[in-house]
Structure 1
Amino acid sequence: MTNSTPDILVVFDCDGTLVDSAHNVIACMRTAFEETGLPVPTDLDIRRSIGLNPDVAVRHLAREPLSDSHLEQIVTGYKTAFFHRRLRVDHHEPLFEGVREILENLASRKIAMAVATGKSMRGVNAVITQHGLDGYFGSLQTPDHNPGKPHPQMLEKAMAVACTKPEQTYMIGDTSFDMMLAKNAGCRGVGVTWGYHDEAELLESGAETLINRFEELLEIIETHRE
């Protein structure tokens, strides 16, 4: 389903944009902090850190400077908690409304797609497998092989794979980190209003426009494609 004539590239964030994972992230981050005996961040603070690389998020959430060993312990604890959580029969990371339809629609228009996320490659592949999204994305850009958002490398690599230019590339995300990523890479930032940062933050961090439903993305793309 990936594009053979890539005049446009649409890059999606994962958590908060394609899937609603906040409940899992919050639970696993709380567990990781609890296991080290350090003060546990609030649910709201954890929610607002979603999208950052785990090590960056942990440093951001800690109420005091962390040693390298404490940082590694919390990050490892978080990843381990998430791994085990995915194995539970009640594990649930639902797609947001309209995701499957927008992916199918873009694929039918021969528009290239990719993912750029703070989620691990293992986590992204788990989402793709769970929801049957194989074949839609030309590349998956994660912290496994890239600096975290808002460093532009994830978008630069996605564009290199798809052979597109920044002005032809849309970054679709729900956080200020996504919009700063788009800005740093010279791409078009499209903020979604159903995620983890509010509309004002998205606009202030560089969103070119906001959408309330995925179907609105089609009009934006077709307008710029003309």
Structure 2
Amino acid sequence: MKLIIFDIDGTLVDSQNCIVEAQRRAFAALGLPAPPTREKALSVVGLSLVEAFDALTEGRGPSKELADAYKAAWMQLRGESRIEDRCPVYPGVEEFLRQMSRRDDCRLGVATGKSRAGVDRLFDAYGWRDMFATVQTADDAPSKPAPDMFNRALAETSMTARDACMVGDTVFDMRMARSAGAHAIGVGWGYHPHEKLTKAGAVTIADNLDALRVQLDEFMQCVTT
């Protein structure tokens, strides 16, 4: 039995437009200078909000106030569009997850920088609640790349790190998994480039779901001692 833990933003759903717009509104709400570029905005995806704004402002803040303004902006965006429109599932991911959840050689989990409430709304919208054996959020443990979320997932499922794999699109996902002593697979359709994922510890990178399926099959066939 193996544990496969997925990131959400940039891995399962494409929320980049909403993330960038919420950041823009947060900076504007506090009367701060120009918001970060799209590239820089997406570079912090995966971190919890305060850590993300620490990075975006290079430690000059006000990170807590920006995080609160970001949450308010996200609530505004919720009222302006359906979750399916602002956070669409990547093509093929829905069926891929359902196929994986029906296998008897693995269990699925989530580790995300989203809040618990944000994950709940997403799962309710897409009907994903029953597919994951463990769900770790920014409310549960220190931000990635600390291994805490991954270790909590292992504890909740009674699994060991050598039998677990992280699937994500950011360097924070890769570093978290490697810090926990687990396997790490990067996805090429997300927000961080291949070379950074590899440098951060990705054992391999899947450019599409077919490749990811093959790589996960290979991981699950590995015999650990």
TM-score (norm 2): 0.92
* 2:120 maps to 1:132: no
* 2:22 maps to 1:28: yes
Q: Give the Cα–Cα distance (whole angstroms) in 2 for the partners of residues 146 and 168 of structure 1.
A: 21
Q: Give the Cα–Cα distance (whole angstroms) in 2 for the partners of residues 140 and 64 of structure 1.
A: 30
Q: Give the Cα–Cα distance (whole angstroms) in 1 for the partners of residues 59 and 184 of structure 2.
A: 33
- Relative contact order (C-alpha < 8 Å, sep 6+): which is higher? 1
Q: Which residue of 2 aligns with 1:159?
A: 154
Residue identity in the other structure for 2:89:
L
Select the residue among 209, 212, 215 that pairs with 2:204: 209
Please state how far the C-alpha of 1:83 moved relative to its aligned partner: 1.8
Residue identity in the other structure for 1:138:
A
Please state how far the C-alpha of 1:90 moved relative to its aligned partner: 4.8
Select the residue among 189, 195, 198 that pairs with 2:190: 195
Q: Which residue of 2 aligns with 1:83?
A: 75
Equivalenced residue count is 217
Select the residue among 213, 217, 225 that pairs with 1:222: 217
**Against the structure 1 CA distance between its residues 74 and 167, is the aligned structure 2 distance closer, same or farther, given a 3 Å change threshold?**
same
Please state how far the C-alpha of 1:63 moved relative to its aligned partner: 5.2
Residue identity in the other structure for 1:8:
K
For residues 57-90 of structure 1, what are the alpha-carbon distances to aligned partners after superposition, in whole Å with 9 as ceiling and x for unaligned?
A: 1011115612xxx322111010111122123235
SS at match of 1:115: strand
For residues 127-146 of structure 1, what are the alpha-carbon distances to aligned partners after superposition, in whole Å with 9 as ceiling and x for unaligned?
A: 11122212001121011020
Please state how far the C-alpha of 1:45 moved relative to its aligned partner: 0.8
Please state how far the C-alpha of 1:126 moved relative to its aligned partner: 1.4
For the aligned residue pairs, the C-alpha RMSD in angstroms reads 1.4
TM-score (norm 1): 0.91
Percent of aligned pairs with the same residue?
A: 34
Residue identity in the other structure for 1:11:
I
For residues 169-219 of structure 1, what are the alpha-carbon distances to aligned partners after superposition, in whole Å with 9 as ceiling and x for unaligned?
A: 110000111110111011111000000000001001000011012232332
